[in-house]
């Protein structure tokens, strides 16, 4: 059984800082088409977030999509004692990790309409509130 805390909907323009994804990034699917499989990472990927907008490595892909596809909208905490699988649905629940979601968040109470939802997993996160 996988256990995750229910994701927290973030105020769509409130996230600022750096996210270093070092476990898994979900597949990037847009309008039913796979743009990039991504998944389990060989090396950490750094993302700079400014006023809730995700950037950096995925910039070339994300900037071809609507602006709402770059918005950081979710923070989840993993609680399951499992090892990385490369499958985002499992890896976002690994104990000692957190995951951030970008794109659509209406399916759990948010207001950001987007044609994508992409999760990235961070091992042993340090989360600060400013």
Task: Please state the φ and ψ torsions of residue 68, each to the nearest 5 degrees.
Answer: -60, -15
Q: What is the pLDDT of residues 87-97, one digit of tens each?
A: 888 899 999 99
Handedness of CA 63, 65, 68, 74 (dihedral sign): negative
The pTM score is 0.67
Q: Look at the block and give the residue holding tokens 């951030």.
A: 100
The helix or strand, by DSSP H or E, that contains position 60, with its residue range, turns out to be helix 59-62
pLDDT digit string, tens, across residues 47-60: 777 776 655 556 67
């Amino acid at each position: 059984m996988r256990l995750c805390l229910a994701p927290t909907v973030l105020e769509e323009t409130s996230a600022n800082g750096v996210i270093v994804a070092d476990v898994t990034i979900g597949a990037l699917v847009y309008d039913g088409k796979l743009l990039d499989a991504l998944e389990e990472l060989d090396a950490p990927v750094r993302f700079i977030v400014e006023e809730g907008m995700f950037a950096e490595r995925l910039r070339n892909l994300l900037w071809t999509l609507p602006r709402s596809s770059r918005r950081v909208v979710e923070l989840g905490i993993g609680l399951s004692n499992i090892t990385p699988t490369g499958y985002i649905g499992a890896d976002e629940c690994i104990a000692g990790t957190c995951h951030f979601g970008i794109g659509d968040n209406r399916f759990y109470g948010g207001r950001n309409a987007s044609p994508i939802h992409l999760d990235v997993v961070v091992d042993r996160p340090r989360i600060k509130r400013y």
